[in-house]
Structure 1
Amino acid sequence: MLFGQKIRKSTPPQKKQDRLPFTLSDVPSEVSCDLKENEKNIKRVFEKCSDFILRPFHINGEIQALLICIDGLVNHQLVDEIILKPPMYDAPPKGEGGSGEFAQERIPASQVKNTGDFKKVTEAVLYGEAAIFVEGKTDVTLVDVKGWTMRAIEEPETQTVIRGPREGFNENIRTGTAMLRKRLRTPRLKMESLNIGDISHTSVVLTYIDGIVHESLVQEVRDRLNRITIDGVMDSGYIEEMIEDAPYSPFPTIYNTERPDIVAANLLEGRVAVLVDNTPFALVMPANFWNSVSVNEDYYERFWMATVVRWIRYLGVAATMFLPGLYVSIVTFHQEMLPTSLLLSIASAREGVPFPVIIEVLLMEITFEGLREAGLRLPRQVGQAVSIVGALVIGQAAVQAGIVSAPLVIVVSITGIASFTIPDYSAGLAVRFLRFPLIFAAGTAGLYGLTLGVLFILLHVCGLRSFGVPYFSPVAPLTVSNLKDVWIRVPWWSMRRRPTQPGSKNPVRIPAGQMPKPPKNPGGKS
């Protein structure tokens, strides 16, 4: 009320009903024989699409036709040479009829097909194919002329090797399938295609080796993929979270890799892989904990050296997870476990530190993780320098300022170095994350709390499953025949049978008698 008068609220003018967004249901499902009607419908579908190309032309100078494609998804040279040039300039063959004969006889392309479904035409154009509408014909000719720009095949940065193949997947799914075909040249390598994403329509390929993999595993993966309902898929991580067995567990129950040799080796063991378009990372299932600690180079080097390096990685996993908590528990509750000289050295180093040991450890561990993340996200030229120099400078400054002790800096440094020995990034994240609850448990109840935390982690890991396969197999449950590739890596001629846990139907992969034998007459003497 203003000056005793009631203010009358003005009502906004009624707006006209907004036009609903266009959908494919607004166009007829079948292609019309009227070219003008088809042109009108196709323009409605690709309204406000600046990269849409619509090219009218004539066949043999008489029949009207219409070419549609998406700029950037097609190879313009192929469009000009194999689609537009033959019907416009070359002499027609005798007895030429409809568009079906036109597709087979006049277009020099390997992948040519016809369809009368308007929605299939739209989907094909969005996948990089060119569509040809012909006046008076209800079938549309689709020509595969994909030509988008893609990254060259390069060595994966996340899984480098000294000895082994140097090529990895790129973002093109057909390049990935071809790299698998190059390694497994058999028609038993099956590849099932499907699209996921209501808007993105991302191409996904389910691949396995028929006769080795168990059908129930393939069917389970197929069912989980078909159950996914999402608007778009930008990376294989989307699919991984939608189909994994334990989404709340820190441990990854699906193995991801960008190396085709690793995928091929897992397929030969009876596993299933999923390739996703627009990402170089493939998914392999079922997975177990030991896959995350082993690398493909273990099978390219001699077996005894691969075993030694594998044990170094196991020690790295143990140090990453348990060393900070062990330091907190001993220094806080169990000083009697240390030698007197070492205890006096640690006590003198911590004399001026104002924080309890647990706060001191958490402060340094969080700082180290922040430096690691900064080194990953910064430009490559400065990222490594920032992470290394930052750790040295901050550690030295913290010791001189009396905020942390020198022994703790050594413990945190050893923990950080040990974490780099874990080859799988996802498993490394889980191990690095779990050391913080163990630090709290050790700071609360000493070695008793640390032991309870370790038992809880072991119970959790032993209870996990990946597509029906125990995550900690073949250790829990124990399968003695499969331990030859867990704690040690036996020679190839001793790994005669495939792992039994994935349920392989063809367990024998190497016949007996493959052990190398020295010559009976050394030096060629008779």
Structure 2
Amino acid sequence: MSDVKKVTASREENTEYLNQILPVKESFDIIKRDIMIGGRCSTFYSINGFANDESLLKIMDSFFGVTEDDMPGDANSFSRKCIPYVEVDILEDFDQVLKNLLSGVSCLFIDGYEVGIAIDCRTYPARSVEEPDKDKSLRGSRDGFVETIVFNTALMRRRIRDPHLVMKMMEIGDSSRTDVAICYMSDRVDHELLKNVSDRINSIRTDALRMNQQSLAEELYKRKWFNPFPKFKFTERPDTATACLLEGKIVLLVDNSPSAMILPTSIFDMIEEANDYYFPTLTNIYLKVARGLITLMTVFLTPVFLLFMQNLNWLPEAFSFVSVKDTVNIPLIFQLLILEIAIDGLRLAALNTPSMLSTPLSVIAGLVMGEFSVKSGWFNAEVMLYMAFVSVANYTQPNFELGYALKFMRLELLILTALFNWWGFAAGTLIIVLSICFNKTLSGRNYLNVKLN
């Protein structure tokens, strides 16, 4: 850090250097204001849209009341006696000045003081802390994380009034300088895992976290491209994040991202949701068991159906009604694969459809396309029924990334079953089990929470 330029006692030198670094004249949102404080030339720098105009107005009004006799000899005394504000810091080099200024902190340079004075009266544009659309709860709180990291830490601090709650702020990215908060309970966390996570974050060398949380996840754990299972649990609910903190887990918050990353995690954590905690024990157990069974059915229902259709003599008499009755114009495996892609196409179309049209268009797509695709002979009714169940059942578990991981496992199982019959089904099932058992997470444990070497 020896090459970092220090702030000098000359206001002119300081402002000249900043004017060379910052596009003050080209960027309308970088505000530079020259004022007189106690008979000394001073310069304010701030970012329009970040600075709280009312707070800045009161601070500057107090500066105009400072006389030459009132001016202290050093910046520390000036910040204590003449700045009627709480969040004030002294900056000695321009690297700190630029970091604070571009984060929205107002910086003041006074002739004769060889430091910059940072006044943190910023306010970020933010939406309300409304309940997230994806992770809703029938009972419990109705607030959710937003894109402002300070608001998110406050939502968790409000729930845990314990001095052991630590929220350590770090910075990643040479250009973006994205704020990342590591949150943990110092008396409950696994300190070996905490050190591992902190060291990994400190060792990240990147220009910017372009996609915020996802970029951080990829930098923390360089996973194989063919491994679809997520390494972290994500939540947009502060109550879920605080519950995990109290269990000794680590929560990572990234500025500009309205969700939290939780680790370590297991397959059992992935399929949990907030409703599991807001109901009595018996109801809680039932919901978990039902969700687990439905999750298994989303993976194995269509491959088992395909396996029995290829071996009709295996089908018990009592279940003969599940066999395909109509003429099969297109092989069942191709019907299933086409519908897998078609369902994702409908889902993507719904995401990009204006909200006022999404419901009627979804109904039209489901009824018209479903009915006429069967009547035209492209698909069989039984195949449409089972794929409709799978597409709806995918939403019973809250983790979006895990849903697609299970979808890829289902596709792999379908293709192997179609190619190699029951040998392929057995091999595909073994691959799924091994993928879960040997899916190593950041903590060094697998999805079953077993330590891997």
Mapping of residues 48-87 of structure 1, within 5 Å = 48-60=26-38, 62-82=39-59, 84-87=60-63
CA distance in 1, matches of 2:276, 2:321: 43
- The alignment covers a number of residue pairs equal to 448
Answer yes or no: is 1:366 the counterpart of 2:344: no
Contact 2:71 2:78 in 1 (8 A): no
Aligned partner of 2:234 in structure 1 is 256
Deviations along 1:55-93, whole A, 9 cap, x unmatched? 000013x111111111112112211111x1111135678
Residue 292 of structure 1 corresponds to 270
Map Cα deviations across residues 255-300 of structure 1 (whole Å, 9 max, x no partner): 1111111111111111111111011111111111111111122121
Q: In the alignment, is residue 244 of structure 1 matched against residue 235 of structure 2?
A: no
The CA distance in 2 between the partners of 1:382 and 1:405, in whole Å, is: 29
Q: 2:398 aligned with 1:420, yes or no?
A: no
Pairing of 1:64-463 with structure 2 (within 5 A): 64-82=41-59, 84-89=60-65, 94=70, 96-233=72-209, 234-244=211-221, 246-248=223-225, 249-332=227-310, 334-339=311-316, 343=320, 346-349=323-326, 351=327, 353-463=328-438
Distance 1:447 1:387, change over 3 A: farther
SS of aligned partner of 1:396: helix
Relative to structure 1, the CA distance from residue 468 to residue 122 in structure 2 (aligned partners, 3 Å threshold; closer, same or farther) is closer
Q: SS of the residue aligned with 1:138?
A: coil
2: CA distance, partners of 1:93 / 1:297? 64
Alpha-carbon separation, structure 1, partners of 2:395 and 2:321: 31
Could you tell me how far apart the structure 1 residues matched to 2:248 and 2:362 are?
41
In 1, Cα distance between the equivalents of 2:352 and 2:221?
27
State the match for 1:505 in structure 2: none
Secondary structure of the corresponding residue to residue 158 of structure 2 = helix
1:40 aligns with 2:16: yes
Amino acid paired to 2:178: T
Please tell me whether the aligned partners of residues 330 and 447 of structure 1 are also in contact (alpha carbons under 8 angstroms). no
Q: 1:107 offset after TM fit, Å? A: 1.2
**8 Å contact kept, 1:197–1:230:** yes
Matched residue SS, 2:325: helix
Structure 2: segments with no counterpart, 5+ residues:
none
C-alpha separation in 2, matches of 1:116 and 1:472 = 48
- Letter aligned with residue 211 of structure 1: D
SS in 2 for 1:110: coil
Report the Cα offset of residue 358 of structure 1: 0.7
Corresponding letter in the other structure for 1:447: W
TM-score by length of 1: 0.81
Instruction: Give identity over the alignment, percent.
Output: 28
Structure 1 unaligned regions, length at least 5: 1-23, 478-500, 502-526
Q: Deviations 1:464-501 (Å, cap 9, x if unpaired)?
A: 22233433325xx5xxxxxxxxxxxxxxxxxxxxxxx8
Contact 1:191 1:205 survives alignment (8 Å): yes
Q: What letter corresponds to residue 104 of structure 2 in structure 1?
A: G
Say whether the 8 Å CA contact 1:246–1:464 is kept in structure 2. Answer: no
Mapped partners of 1:244, 1:299: distance in 2: 30
Deviation at 1:405, TM superposition (A): 0.8
Write the distance in 2 (CA, Å) between the matches of 1:268 and 1:28: 41
> What amino acid is the match of 1:226?
N
The answer on whether the counterparts of 2:127 and 2:146 sit within 8 Å (CA) in structure 1 is yes
Q: Is the 8 A contact 2:265 2:447 kept in 1?
A: no
Q: Secondary structure at 2:9's aligned position in 1?
A: coil
How far apart are the structure 1 equivalents of 2:192 and 2:416?
42
2:441 alignment counterpart: 466
The one-letter amino acid paired with 2:268 is W
